[in-house]
Homo-oligomer: A and B are copies of this chain.
Amino acid sequence: MNRGFGSDNHSPVHPWLFESLNQVNHHHAPSYGTDEFTLKAILKIRSVFDWKDLQVLFVFNGTAANVLALKTLCQSYQSVLVSDVSHLNVDECAAPEMVGRVKLIPLPSKQGKLQLKDLKQALIRRGDQHFSQVAGISITQPTELGTVYSPEELQEICRWAQAQGLFVHVDGARLHNALSFLKLSPADLFNKYQVDALSLGGTKNGFLFGEAVLFKKEHPEALYYRKQITQLPSKTRYIAAQFLAYYERQLFHEIAEHQHQLAQLLEKGLIERGICPEYPVQSNAVFVKLEPQWIKEIRKSHFFYVWDEHTKVCRLMMSWDSKVEDISSFLSQIDSLQGGLR
């Protein structure tokens, strides 16, 4: 399959990450997270996020990270406020409810982002035994629409949540794209914004597989929940090794920057051609409405997904291995199609 814009999980494993797998592939290592590489990776992550009490739990994939985070922070009579377009709400086949056993309360979003006024309005009936009690908020950064909460928005939401006794979870499947765009340090998350839990993505950032759940405080029961939701990896060293390389070799930064530059290039090219993306391009995704016949044509050479069946808004996703020539070639095809229209 040609390189396309289908998803940042369509690309192969980044060579440095693949190399990291090879480097730990010798000797025996104890399983289930008790090996030396896992310990090293945890220490590295604590250092990157500058929070020494951070509990770090490796899991296989992003849905699991989200579910483990919420299951640990909530009881079954509690609920979590989420964006109506969040991965938790629409892309996890009800895993949060059925496996995480937490009710989600989807709220309207603006460019994928939760609005403080909606959060406030949803915080009702506290102490009413008939109503699943709101225990926290989950925000996606960057959002599923490629937009990014600004530092002010983050601050405002986190402060309000903390004042109300609500936890804040961040779904950061592509976290470093947002941090890079905002010029924020990872250390801000736990220090400045005081978030309680983070789903930290690997899979969509060039990993073979692997994500992590980061809790600000230690939750001893999270170890059992990880096992129970079937997400305790046997050979944890192979996830740990990738996280180590990702942070030690500055890949997190390099990949995010590269993807954002390409996304901007595409955005610019589209605007020049009179096609305006649906949302501000703030990470590695460009959402754009395309003619149905164009979609069919372009997808033959540059695969991508139609995001909304009704509106024909399409998602064009940059990967670590996306190239300037992919953008040029895509835009050329637009040119031809526009020419054909005249």
Secondary structure call for the A interface: loop
Question: Could you say which of A73-81, A181-189, A275-283 contacts chain B?
Answer: A73-81
Contact with B along A61-100 (1 / 0, CB 8 A): 1111001000000011101000000000011111101110
Interchain CB contact under 8 A, B99 and A129:
no
Contact with B along A207-246 (1 / 0, CB 8 A): 0110000000000010111111111111100100000000
Interchain CB contact under 8 A, B229 and A230:
yes
Interchain CB contact under 8 A, A9 and B76:
no
* Smallest CB gap from A308: residue in B: B124
- Closest Cβ of chain B to A126, distance in Å, is 10
Tell me if A309 is interfacial: C-beta within 8 Å of chain B: yes
- Closest Cβ of chain B to A36, distance in Å, is 8
Beta-carbon contacts under 8 Å, A89-132 to B: 90-95, 97-99, 101, 103, 106, 121, 124-125, 129-132
Selected contact of A95 from candidates B10, B124, B230, CB within 8 Å: B230
- What number of copies of this chain does the assembly contain? 4
Q: A26 CA to B101 CA in the complex, in Å? A: 39
* Smallest CB gap from A10: residue in B: B28
Range for the number of chain A residues in contact with chain B? 35 or more
Interchain CB contact under 8 A, A234 and B32:
no
Selected contact of A209 from candidates B79, B98, B103, B234, CB within 8 Å: B234
* Smallest CB gap from A13: residue in B: B25
Selected contact of A28 from candidates B3, B75, B131, B133, CB within 8 Å: B3
Tell me if A172 is interfacial: C-beta within 8 Å of chain B: no
Tell me if A2 is interfacial: C-beta within 8 Å of chain B: yes
Tell me if A270 is interfacial: C-beta within 8 Å of chain B: no
Tell me if A60 is interfacial: C-beta within 8 Å of chain B: yes
Residues of B within 8 A of A290 (CB): none
Tell me if A300 is interfacial: C-beta within 8 Å of chain B: no
Tell me if A7 is interfacial: C-beta within 8 Å of chain B: yes
Interchain CB contact under 8 A, B30 and A91:
no
* Smallest CB gap from A108: residue in B: B108
Tell me if A190 is interfacial: C-beta within 8 Å of chain B: no
Q: A100 CA to B246 CA in the complex, in Å? A: 34
Residues of B within 8 A of A24 (CB): 12
Tell me if A29 is interfacial: C-beta within 8 Å of chain B: yes
Interchain CB contact under 8 A, A30 and B18:
no
Residues of B within 8 A of A228 (CB): 76-77, 92-95, 98-99
Residues of B within 8 A of A76 (CB): 94, 98, 101, 225, 228
Interchain CB contact under 8 A, A98 and B101:
yes
Tell me if A11 is interfacial: C-beta within 8 Å of chain B: yes
- Closest Cβ of chain B to A213, distance in Å, is 12
Q: Name A residues whose Cβ lies closer than 8 Å to a Cβ of B.
A: 1-4, 6-7, 9-13, 18, 21-22, 24-32, 35-36, 60-64, 67, 75-77, 79, 90-95, 97-99, 101, 103, 106, 121, 124-125, 129-133, 203-204, 208-209, 221, 223-235, 238, 303, 309-310, 319
Given A10-B31, A79-B94, A106-B106, 12 additional A-B pairs, CB 8 A: A9-B235, A12-B26, A30-B303, A60-B233, A63-B227, A75-B221, A76-B228, A91-B130, A92-B228, A99-B99, A204-B234, A208-B238
A-B contacts, 8 of them at CB < 8 A, read: A9-B235, A61-B230, A92-B130, A97-B101, A101-B101, A124-B309, A129-B232, A130-B232
